[in-house]
């Protein structure tokens, strides 16, 4: 009998119950008991769903009050000493302080979980870290599941992945965190022993680091570490996901563990390597259902690939989603407004549970036992394949007409910039902002009332226009050189455009946890993307009409549109990126026609699209750069293209950033004290740059001198004639008073620097 399980379930709840309870607790509106009650209910409901679907195990340990990596740190007793907390007696209040900071200490660092949009709290370790035990929450949860009559399979992040994802701030440079492994493994041993005492048979131990380019000494550390865990008395299922671990199949299969989970959705081709290496008594958990995307599985096709595997492995085959389901929304149930045809193509976490168990039933009892499910699956697949909404001849024709020249500006940058300087007549070190101005409560209310039908389209438009006028007047008063309209009409930089494009669908409750209590609702790209009409031209033209200064048009780039959506799985990502690029390109052309001289195409998600393995980078960079170029390169030489990226780690992809060939790039630099600029300086980045001179994430108003210092540093590495002056990112999360004060100082800093340069 093939067994069934999942690697994890979304913890936030179908109605974001956890988010609202967390936030109420932070505001002091509910006490710890009430918060715990919400968590317990969610766990119970999610186990119940797994049981109801017929899975053989319920997964425990995927729940966390904020983040599962932070919970593991608290479990192991590896909390940053600077907080002074006792891990064994940790209160929820303190747990949240680790994640969010408190009056005395900044929060632990948070960063992206592999190539997902989820953020985990980076374990903060050092030579002194003892790992001598902490909270017992996972044990309590195992008890809880048992008491409810379920068979729990706990999941924990494995020791090498945990250590790999950790950092040792403040440790001596010579300190190698791998030296912590023996102590860490001892803590894992105790944890596994405690789980065994609670009657646990299998533990899923996640080692996604095996899918990265790990150094040889880290790879070599697997064997001794897992030898130490071998006699803990529980069976270990070593799980990898998000990419192939085929190159380490031999190594993994020599570890004293009892089973392996692999991601057969992302990299089905790794199967053979694993089958060749798999010990005769080991379990193979086939990650056959996409845990990262929202498409309904083609059960007939998947069953056909699993049948030979089942014939070969029999009871040793387990069926699962490719990775934890935390990366997809909870349930389709709340999606009554979604077009029924599109809805029939989808499966969220709850629906995927049934897919897993149906596949196992088809294997265990034969195809005939799941005839109805197979027929329903076939119907959904053929509806999706044949639907007139998916493929548009118009878009297909345009794709066929794409030429290499479409990715090239007419003239090289040196020529363009001369014409642009002549045409734009900007002062040296021109000042600008990244696009958005404060999204005030007033603006959010306007949108909500308009959505509810309480505010007519005309009244809404008028109100938004007065917000735009306000932003323009304030920028004029501040004497900023290149103005923006402020994005008052946009709820979100992807949704706003997606709503105006063909091929996009939006959910009502399709929330996915991004970090802590923060959730995002990625739109779904289901069909060929096409721009039926101009999206921003009227707004931008209106904004330009208010001022004699230059108004910058503001668009979201194709890679970011792709990266922050659920994307089609029936064509390569790069094809979807190209369709998006053509849509943006049309908008760029229309903005230019409407007299807009500067157009910014934001690509904040460009870097996060990078594949996990460096060997796969060139291919991604190739199509991603081309998509950006195609979106931008239709303009005349004297139209200036800006782009914006808000992160500080791209020294390793600078050649690609340069190849995008934006005339101006604005980047995040103030938090890293402009370290990043060194990379730009060394590489001799050829075009113009606006290094952010102040951090918009903090309400603190930076002084003129601080910004001047950053500008001086910038002038050291970049020729001043190629420098712009701007904040790090958009200002939508800020209030007006601090925004005006900070921008006022920024303009003064630019002024002072200009005077110095003139001397």
Q: Round to whole Å and give the CA distance between 275 and 110.
A: 37
Q: By CB under 6 A, name the one of 604, 609, 690, 702 that touches ligand GLN.
A: 604
5 as an active site residue: the answer is no
Stretch that binds ligand GLN, among 25-33, 136-144, 433-441, 749-757 (CB under 6 A): 433-441
The token pair at 397 is 């024709």
- Which structure tokens are listed for 576? 């979807």
Which of 631, 732, 740, 749 contacts ligand GLN by CB under 6 A? Answer: 732
Binding segment toward ligand GLN, per CB under 6 A, in 76-84, 656-664, 673-681, 727-735: 727-735
Strand-pair partners of 602: 556, 644
Residue with structure tokens 């039933």?
361
Rounded distance between C-alpha atoms, residue 251 and residue 248, angstroms: 5
Closest residue by beta carbon to Zn ion:
646
**Interacting span for ligand GLN (CB under 6 A) from 26-34, 122-130, 368-376, 724-732:** 724-732
Asked if 627 and 585 count as a contact pair (C-beta separation under 8 A), the reply is no
Stretch that binds ligand GLN, among 353-361, 576-584, 586-594, 726-734 (CB under 6 A): 726-734
Taking the complex as a whole, the smallest distance from the CB of residue 647 to Zn ion amounts, in Å, to: 8
Interaction between residue 58 and ligand GLN (CB under 6 A): no
- The CA distance from 710 to 206, in Å, is 43
Cβ 87 to ligand GLN shortest distance, Å: 36
Q: Is 526 helix (H, G, I), strand (E, B) or coil?
A: strand
User: 578 or 729, CB closer to Zn ion?
Assistant: 729
> Of 80 and 730, which CB lies nearer to ligand GLN in the complex structure?
730
# chain residues binding ligand GLN, by CB under 6 A: 13
Tokens of 570: 């029936």
Question: Could you give the CA distance from residue 384 to residue 88 in angstroms, rounded to a whole number?
Answer: 53
Residues between 31 and 70 that touch Zn ion (CB under 5 A): none
| Closest chain position to ligand GLN (CB) | 730
Residue 729 interacts with ligand GLN (CB under 6 A): yes or no = yes
Bridge partners, residue 676, by sequence: none
d(CA 350, CA 333): 9
Instruction: Please name the residues in contact with 542: beta carbons below 8 A apart, sequence gap of 6 or more.
Output: 465, 468, 485
Per partner kind, with CB cut-offs from 5 to 8 A, the member of Zn ion, ligand GLN, none near residue 409 is none
The per-residue b/e assignment along 372-410, b for 16 or more CB within 10 angstroms, e otherwise, is ebbeebeebbeebeeeeebbbeebeebeeeeeeebbebe
CA 303 to CA 358: how far, in whole Å? 9
Q: Which is nearer to ligand GLN, 3 or 734 (CB)?
A: 734
Minimum separation from the CB atom of position 565 to Zn ion (A): 18
Please identify, using beta-carbon distances, which residue of 626 and 732 lies nearer to ligand GLN.
732
**What CA–CA distance (Å, rounded) separates 719 from 573?**
38
- Which of 554, 610, 612, 693 binds ligand GLN (CB under 6 A)? It is 554
User: Least CB distance from residue 490 to ligand GLN, whole Å?
Assistant: 8
Report 436-465 residues binding ligand GLN (CB under 6 A): 436
**Residue 602 contacts ligand GLN per CB under 6 A:** yes
Of 410, 450, 644, 697, which is the active-site residue? 697
Nearer to ligand GLN, 20 or 647 (CB): 647
Indicate the residue among 592 and 602 with the shorter CB distance to Zn ion.
Answer: 602
Q: Which residues are CB-neighbours of 561 under 8 A, at least 6 positions away?
A: 494, 497, 498, 580, 584
Helix (H) or strand (E) holding 223: helix 222-229
Among 99, 236, 434, 710, binds ligand GLN (CB under 6 A): 434
Which residue lies nearer to ligand GLN by CB, 179 or 733?
733
Output 194 or 482, the one with its CB closest to ligand GLN.
Answer: 482
- Judged by beta carbon distances under 5 to 8 A according to partner kind, the member of Zn ion, ligand GLN, none in contact with residue 563 is none
Compose the 720-739 pattern: x for residues touching Zn ion by CB under 5 A, - for all others.
Answer: ---------x----------
Considering only residues 561-580, where is the footprint of ligand GLN by CB under 6 A?
none
Q: CA–CA separation, 316 vs 293, rounded Å? A: 27
In the complex, least distance from residue 742 CB atom to ligand GLN, rounded to whole angstroms: 14
DSSP string, 623-639: HHHHHHHHHHTTS-TTS
Tell me the C-alpha distance between 153 and 130, whole Å.
27
CA 511 vs. chain centroid, Å, equals: 13
From the list ligand GLN, Zn ion, none, partner contacted by residue 13 (C-beta under 5 to 8 A by kind): none
d(CA 306, CA 302): 6
Map the footprint of Zn ion across residues 570-629, applying CB under 5 A.
604
Nearer to Zn ion, 370 or 584 (CB): 584
Q: Which is nearer to ligand GLN, 380 or 624 (CB)?
A: 624
DSSP conformational letter for 322: S
Restricted to residues 629-648, the positions that interact with ligand GLN (CB under 6 A) are: 644, 646
Q: Which residues pair with 555 in a beta bridge?
A: 601
From 113-121, 364-372, 434-442, 612-620, span contacting ligand GLN (CB under 6 A): 434-442
- Residue 151 binds what, of ligand GLN, Zn ion, none (CB under 5 to 8 Å, by partner type)? none
435 binding ligand GLN? (CB under 6 A): yes
Site for Zn ion in 644-703 (CB under 5 A): 646
The residue (of 267 and 600) whose beta carbon lies closer to ligand GLN is: 600
Q: From the centroid of its chain, how far is CA 321?
A: 19
Residues 491-510 that bind ligand GLN (CB under 6 A): 493
10 Å CB burial of residue 588 (0-12, 13-18, 19+) is: buried
Region of residue 24 (left: phi > 0; alpha: psi -120 to 50; beta: else): alpha
Tokens found for residue 575: 């094809």
Query: Cα 42–47–52 angle (5° rounding)?
Result: 125
3-state secondary structure of 102: coil
* Binding at 493: pick from Zn ion, ligand GLN, none (beta carbon under 5-8 Å per type): ligand GLN
What would the 3-class secondary structure string for 569-626 be? CCCCHHHHHHHHHHHHHHHHHHHHHCCCCEEEEECCCCHHHCCCCHHHHHHHHHHHHH
Q: Which residues are catalytic?
A: 697
Binding region for Zn ion (CB under 5 A): 604, 646, 729
Binding region for ligand GLN (CB under 6 A): 434-436, 487, 493, 554, 602, 604, 644, 646, 729-730, 732
């Amino acid at each position: 009998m093939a067994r069934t399980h999942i690697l994890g379930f979304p913890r936030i709840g179908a109605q974001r119950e956890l988010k609202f309870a967390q936030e109420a607790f932070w505001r002091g509106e509910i006490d710890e008991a009430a918060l715990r009650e919400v968590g317990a209910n969610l766990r119970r409901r999610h186990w119940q769903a797994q049981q109801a679907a017929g899975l053989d195990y319920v997964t425990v340990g995927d729940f966390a009050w904020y983040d599962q990596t932070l919970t593991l740190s608290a479990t192991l007793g590896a909390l940053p000493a600077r907080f002074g907390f006792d891990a064994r007696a940790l209160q929820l209040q303190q747990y949240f302080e680790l994640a969010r900071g408190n009056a005395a200490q900044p929060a632990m660092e948070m960063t992206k979980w592999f190539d997902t949009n989820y953020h985990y709290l980076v374990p903060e370790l050092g030579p002194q870290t003892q790992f001598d035990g902490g909270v017992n929450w996972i044990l309590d949860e195992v008890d809880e599941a048992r008491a409810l009559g379920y068979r729990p399979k706990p999941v924990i992040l494995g020791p090498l992945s945990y250590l790999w994802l950790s950092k040792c701030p403040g440790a001596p440079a010579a300190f190698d965190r791998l030296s912590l492994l023996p102590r860490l493994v001892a803590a894992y041993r105790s944890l596994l022993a405690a789980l065994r005492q609670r009657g646990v048979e299998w533990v899923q131990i996640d080692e996604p680091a095996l899918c990265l380019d790990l150094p040889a000494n880290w790879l070599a550390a697997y064997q001794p570490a897992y030898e130490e865990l071998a006699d803990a008395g529980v069976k270990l299922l070593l799980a990898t996901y998000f990419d192939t671990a085929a190159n380490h199949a031999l190594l993994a299969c020599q570890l004293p563990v009892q089973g392996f989970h692999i991601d057969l959705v992302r990299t089905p081709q790794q199967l053979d390597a694993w089958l060749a290496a798999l010990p005769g008594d080991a379990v193979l958990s086939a990650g056959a259902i996409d845990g990262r995307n929202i498409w309904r599985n083609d059960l007939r096709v998947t069953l056909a690939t699993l049948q030979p595997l089942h014939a070969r492995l029999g009871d040793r085959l387990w069926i699962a989603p490719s990775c934890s389901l935390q990366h997809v929304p909870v349930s389709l149930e709340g999606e009554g407004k979604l077009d029924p045809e599109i809805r029939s193509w989808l499966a969220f976490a709850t629906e995927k549970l049934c897919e897993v168990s149906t596949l196992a039933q088809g294997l265990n009892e034969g195809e005939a036992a799941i005839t109805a499910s197979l027929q329903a699956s076939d119907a959904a697949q053929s509806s999706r394949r044949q639907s007139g909404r998916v493929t548009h001849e118009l878009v297909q024709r345009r794709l066929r007409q794409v030429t290499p020249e479409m990715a090239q500006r007419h003239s090289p940058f040196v020529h363009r910039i001369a014409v642009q300087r002549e045409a734009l007549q900007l002062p040296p070190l021109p000042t600008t902002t990244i696009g958005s101005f404060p999204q005030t409560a007033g603006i959010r209310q306007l949108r909500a009332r308009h959505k509810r039908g309480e505010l007519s389209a005309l009244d809404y438009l008028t109100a938004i226009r007065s917000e735009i006028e306000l932003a323009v007047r304030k920028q004029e008063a501040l004497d900023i050189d290149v103005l923006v309209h402020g994005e008052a009409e946009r709820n979100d930089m992807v949704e706003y455009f997606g709503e105006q494009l063909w091929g996009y669908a939006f959910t009502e409750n399709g929330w996915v946890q991004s970090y802590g209590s923060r959730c995002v609702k990625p739109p779904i790209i289901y069909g060929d993307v096409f721009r039926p009409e101009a999206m921003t031209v009227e707004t931008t033209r209106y904004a330009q009409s208010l001022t004699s200064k230059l108004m910058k048009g503001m668009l979201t780039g194709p890679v970011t549109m792709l990266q922050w959506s659920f994307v089609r799985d029936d064509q390569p990502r790069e094809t979807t990126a190209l369709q998006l690029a053509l849509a943006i390109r049309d908008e760029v052309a229309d903005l230019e026609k409407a007299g807009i001289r500067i157009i910014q195409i934001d690509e904040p998600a460009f870097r996060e699209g990078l594949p996990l393995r460096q060997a796969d980078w060139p291919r991604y960079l190739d199509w991603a750069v081309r998509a950006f170029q195609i979106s931008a390169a239709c303009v005349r030489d004297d139209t200036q293209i800006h782009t914006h990226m808000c992160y500080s780690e791209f020294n390793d992809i600078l050649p690609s950033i340069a190849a995008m060939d934006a005339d101006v790039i604005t980047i995040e630099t103030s938090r890293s004290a402009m370290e990043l600029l060194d990379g730009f300086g060394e590489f001799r980045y050829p075009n113009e740059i606006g290094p952010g001179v102040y951090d918009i994430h903090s309400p603190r108003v930076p002084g003129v001198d601080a910004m001047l210092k950053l500008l001086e540093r910038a002038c050291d590495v970049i020729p001043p004639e190629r420098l712009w002056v701007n904040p790090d990112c958009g200002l939508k999360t800020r209030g007006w008073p601090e925004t005006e004060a900070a921008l006022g100082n920024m303009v003064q800093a630019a002024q002072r620097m200009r005077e110095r340069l003139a001397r």
